[in-house]
Amino acid sequence: MKLFQTEHRRALRAFYGEGHAAFSTLLESLAGTLEAEVAPSSARFDADSGGISSARRRLFEAGLCRMPFDSHGGLSLPFGVYSLAMELVGAADAPTAMSLGIHNTVADGVFRYGSESQKKEVFEDLVSGKRLASFSLTEPSSGSDARAMSTTATKTGSSYRITGTKTFITNAGEADVYFVVARSEKGHSAFLVDGSAPGLSVGADIPKLGMRGSRTAEVRMDGCSVPAENLVGEDGRAFEYVKSMLSGSRIVMGSICVGIALAAYRKALHYATERKLFEKKLSDMQMTRERVADMRAGINSSRSMCLYASRIKETGEDYGSEAAQAKIIATETASRVCDQAIQLFGGYGYTNADVHRHWRDARLLTIGEGASEVLRLIVASMELGGAA
């Protein structure tokens, strides 16, 4: 299946005008790599936690993670082009996309708030793929309400001691760098904790409904000692950083969902033109046609919203609300489109993992990286005022 299609070229033209041709060439070529080296293994990854590592490596080599950054090895590409690239990765394999998306959220944090030496040492390793990152915010008793976290960072001389447990951490166990948010004297602070730091341990892989190719586990820190130069930005300002990092990440997670929806949609569309019942093709049934139209409209509006939020981000204006809207629309649409795809496949959809895995993958993203409810609070507070 060709991943980069006319719809992508048209979206690039609509959002980027003149510049679109160069971006199309770039994404089409990336799609070629994905078709050859990622998509064929996607069904296998569904049964192999951690199986995505070689696919992830290929995409590091291609330079995927360098796309949205404008120095230190970045390719200075518009964020929307990067988000469309992540859509293609999502269509090829969702867990690979999610793993890389979260990795790059950390790279973004280091790029924007890190010291010059962190940029040279950590950021450059992250975008080249020399090191893999993990974003460690969620705790067993604080998810959406992240400020209620209980992990603490205590300053002792020239280092911090971190104690606490993070859970549902993507890339845990494989990561070389953990971006850990902890409570400090001055509020909340973010640290780059080395994967091999004494006192840091990773729990067993947590079994999950979808996104099975990526690893998810607990990260425990027991008096884990971190040098003060590993503090990211200023002590006490971590939530400000995290909020901004997550806004970008939400567009990316939305785009990944557009990719997931597209993969399921294309399978269903193909099946509908093959399956015959009541002496007709499934695709000739009126209700199927209505369903197809809804799926298509859903996918296009999701992609448009992700690109719209990206364009606002590119201008430098505040885009937090649009990013939240994009993620709400794209993730909820993807769950619905994948559900519709299962419906079109009938019993085969319910029993064939290659059909239902898309729904299982998409299902995560109305929860992770900002649950839909929380995102609605953000949007509403922009409209009506009041706290998010």
Ligand X SMILES: Cc1cc2nc3c(=O)[nH]c(=O)nc-3n(C[C@H](O)[C@H](O)[C@H](O)COP(=O)(O)OP(=O)(O)OC[C@H]3O[C@@H](n4cnc5c(N)ncnc54)[C@H](O)[C@@H]3O)c2cc1C
Among 11, 12, 26, 242, binds other proteins (CB under 8 A): 26
Q: Which residue has the tokens 């992700």?
A: 306
What's phi and psi for 108, nearest 5 deg? Answer: -60, -45
From the list 139, 174, 322, 369, the catalytic residue is 369
Helix axes 286-315, 238-274, angle to 10 degrees: 150
- For other proteins, give the closer residue by CB, 208 or 266: 266
Query: What's the burial of 314, exposed, middle or buried (CB within 10 Å: 0-12/13-18/19+)?
Result: middle
- What is the nearest approach in angstroms of other proteins to the Cβ of residue 189? 34
- What is the nearest approach in angstroms of other proteins to the Cβ of residue 29? 5
Distance CA 375, CA 388 (A): 8
Q: Binding to other proteins by residue 33, rule CB under 8 A?
A: yes
- For other proteins, give the closer residue by CB, 61 or 222: 61
Q: Residue 84 corresponds to which tokens in the numbers above?
A: 């469309």
Interacting positions 98-117 with ligand X (CB under 6 A) = 102
- For other proteins, give the closer residue by CB, 63 or 187: 63
Counting other chains too, the contacts that 70-76 makes at CB distance below 8 Å and 24 or more residues apart are 72/111, 72/119, 72/120, 72/123, 72/124, 72/127, 73/124, 73/127, 73/128, 74/111, 74/127
- For other proteins, give the closer residue by CB, 186 or 280: 280
Interacting positions 260-299 with ligand X (CB under 6 A) = none
Interacting positions 306-365 with other proteins (CB under 8 A) = 352, 354
Among 362, 364, 365, 378, binds ligand X (CB under 6 A): 364
- For ligand X, give the closer residue by CB, 148 or 293: 148
- For ligand X, give the closer residue by CB, 167 or 288: 167
- Which of 23-31, 107-115, 208-216, 314-322 is the region at the interface with other proteins (rule: CB under 8 A)? 23-31
- What is the nearest approach in angstroms of other proteins to the Cβ of residue 77? 8
Q: Binding to other proteins by residue 230, rule CB under 8 A?
A: no
DSSP assignment of 123-135:
IHHHHHTSS-EEE
> Helix or strand or coil: residue 37?
helix
Q: Binding to ligand X by residue 367, rule CB under 6 A?
A: yes
Interacting positions 24-43 with ligand X (CB under 6 A) = none
Closest C-alpha to 183, from 132, 221, 126, 216: 221
Interacting positions 73-112 with other proteins (CB under 8 A) = 75, 77
Mark residues 51-80: x for contact with other proteins by CB under 8 A, - for none.
Answer: -------x--xxxx-xx-------x-x---
CA angle, residues 21, 269, 80, in degrees to nearest 5 = 30
DSSP assignment of 258-293:
HHHHHHHHHHHHHHHHH-EETTEEGGGSHHHHHHHH
- 369 part of the active site: yes
Q: Residue 29 corresponds to which tokens in the numbers above?
A: 């070529």
DSSP designation for 205: P
Interacting positions 209-238 with ligand X (CB under 6 A) = 211, 216
Distance CA 119, CA 192 (A): 12
Q: Binding to ligand X by residue 177, rule CB under 6 A?
A: no
Q: Binding to ligand X by residue 80, rule CB under 6 A?
A: no
Q: Say which residues have a Cβ less than 8 Å from residue 155's Cβ, sequence separation at least 6.
A: 184, 185, 228
Give the Cβ contact number of residue 32 at 10 Å: 14
| Residue 231 interacting partner from ligand X, other proteins, none (CB closer than 5 to 8 Å by kind) | none
Q: Binding to other proteins by residue 29, rule CB under 8 A?
A: yes
Binding residues for other proteins, how many (CB under 8 A)? 24
Strand segments (E) across 282-379? none
- Residues designated catalytic: 369
Summarize as ranges the residues that interact with other proteins (CB under 8 A).
2, 5-6, 22, 25-26, 28-30, 32-33, 36-37, 58, 61-64, 66-67, 75, 77, 352, 354
Summarize as ranges the residues that interact with ligand X (CB under 6 A).
102, 135-138, 143-144, 168-170, 208, 211, 216, 364, 367-369, 371, 373-374, 377
